[in-house]
Amino acid sequence: MPNSKVILNKSDLIRGITALYKGRISETDIRLIVEDFLLLASAGISEGHRVRLKNFGTFTPSDCRTNLGPCTKVTFKMGQQMKRGARERRTKKNKDRDSS
Protein backbone atom coordinates (compact mmCIF):
# COMPACT_ATOMS: atom_id res chain seq x y z
CA MET A 1 0.00 0.00 0.00
CA PRO A 2 1.52 3.36 -0.99
CA ASN A 3 2.21 5.92 1.69
CA SER A 4 -0.88 8.13 1.83
CA LYS A 5 0.86 10.82 3.89
CA VAL A 6 1.88 13.66 1.59
CA ILE A 7 4.21 16.35 2.82
CA LEU A 8 4.34 19.62 0.92
CA ASN A 9 7.23 21.83 1.92
CA LYS A 10 7.98 25.39 0.79
CA SER A 11 10.20 24.27 -2.11
CA ASP A 12 7.48 21.92 -3.40
CA LEU A 13 4.95 24.73 -3.19
CA ILE A 14 7.22 27.09 -5.13
CA ARG A 15 7.89 24.44 -7.81
CA GLY A 16 4.16 23.73 -8.11
CA ILE A 17 3.23 27.39 -8.51
CA THR A 18 6.08 27.90 -11.00
CA ALA A 19 4.74 24.99 -13.06
CA LEU A 20 1.23 26.49 -13.00
CA TYR A 21 2.45 29.82 -14.35
CA LYS A 22 4.81 28.26 -16.97
CA GLY A 23 7.19 31.13 -17.58
CA ARG A 24 4.75 33.98 -17.01
CA ILE A 25 6.19 34.58 -13.54
CA SER A 26 9.80 33.70 -12.72
CA GLU A 27 10.60 31.16 -10.03
CA THR A 28 12.56 33.88 -8.21
CA ASP A 29 9.50 36.14 -8.06
CA ILE A 30 7.30 33.25 -6.91
CA ARG A 31 9.84 32.34 -4.21
CA LEU A 32 9.82 35.96 -2.96
CA ILE A 33 6.01 36.07 -2.91
CA VAL A 34 5.73 32.77 -1.02
CA GLU A 35 8.42 33.78 1.49
CA ASP A 36 6.80 37.20 2.04
CA PHE A 37 3.39 35.61 2.52
CA LEU A 38 4.74 33.15 5.08
CA LEU A 39 6.55 35.95 6.94
CA LEU A 40 3.41 38.11 7.03
CA ALA A 41 1.20 35.21 8.13
CA SER A 42 3.69 34.24 10.86
CA ALA A 43 3.95 37.83 12.07
CA GLY A 44 0.17 38.16 12.17
CA ILE A 45 -0.24 34.98 14.21
CA SER A 46 2.62 36.04 16.52
CA GLU A 47 0.81 39.34 17.16
CA GLY A 48 -2.38 37.48 18.10
CA HIS A 49 -4.26 37.84 14.81
CA ARG A 50 -6.13 35.11 12.95
CA VAL A 51 -4.93 34.20 9.47
CA ARG A 52 -7.76 33.02 7.23
CA LEU A 53 -7.14 31.50 3.82
CA LYS A 54 -10.47 31.32 2.00
CA ASN A 55 -11.52 27.73 1.18
CA PHE A 56 -8.45 26.40 3.02
CA GLY A 57 -8.82 27.22 6.69
CA THR A 58 -8.02 29.53 9.58
CA PHE A 59 -4.94 29.63 11.80
CA THR A 60 -5.70 31.09 15.23
CA PRO A 61 -3.34 31.74 18.15
CA SER A 62 -4.66 30.70 21.54
CA ASP A 63 -3.34 30.63 25.08
CA CYS A 64 -2.38 27.34 26.67
CA ARG A 65 -1.07 26.34 30.05
CA THR A 66 1.77 23.95 30.75
CA ASN A 67 3.62 22.90 33.88
CA LEU A 68 6.25 25.46 32.86
CA GLY A 69 3.79 28.34 32.67
CA PRO A 70 1.59 30.01 30.06
CA CYS A 71 2.30 29.61 26.37
CA THR A 72 0.69 30.25 23.00
CA LYS A 73 -0.32 27.57 20.53
CA VAL A 74 -1.68 27.84 17.01
CA THR A 75 -4.83 25.96 16.11
CA PHE A 76 -6.07 25.26 12.58
CA LYS A 77 -9.69 24.98 11.53
CA MET A 78 -10.20 23.43 8.13
CA GLY A 79 -12.32 25.32 5.60
CA GLN A 80 -15.47 23.81 4.04
CA GLN A 81 -13.94 23.23 0.61
CA MET A 82 -10.93 21.48 2.13
CA LYS A 83 -13.20 19.32 4.33
CA ARG A 84 -15.26 18.36 1.28
CA GLY A 85 -12.13 17.40 -0.68
CA ALA A 86 -10.77 15.33 2.22
CA ARG A 87 -14.11 13.56 2.61
CA GLU A 88 -14.25 12.77 -1.14
CA ARG A 89 -10.69 11.37 -1.11
CA ARG A 90 -11.47 9.26 1.97
CA THR A 91 -14.64 7.90 0.33
CA LYS A 92 -12.77 7.07 -2.90
CA LYS A 93 -9.96 5.40 -0.94
CA ASN A 94 -12.47 3.25 0.98
CA LYS A 95 -14.27 2.25 -2.23
CA ASP A 96 -10.95 1.31 -3.87
CA ARG A 97 -9.95 -0.72 -0.82
CA ASP A 98 -13.33 -2.51 -0.65
CA SER A 99 -13.28 -3.40 -4.36
CA SER A 100 -9.86 -5.07 -4.19
Domain-wise residue ranges, the chain = 8-48, 50-100
What own/partner pairs with CB < 8 Å and gap ≥ 24 does 68-71 have? none
Rounded mean pLDDT, 21-47: 93
Please name the amino acid found at residue 38: L
- pTM strictly above 0.75: no
Does pLDDT of 2 surpass 60?
Answer: no
Query: Rounded mean pLDDT of 58-72?
Result: 86
pLDDT tens-digit readout, 3-14? 556 678 899 999
Q: Are 50 and 43 in contact (CB under 8 A)?
A: no
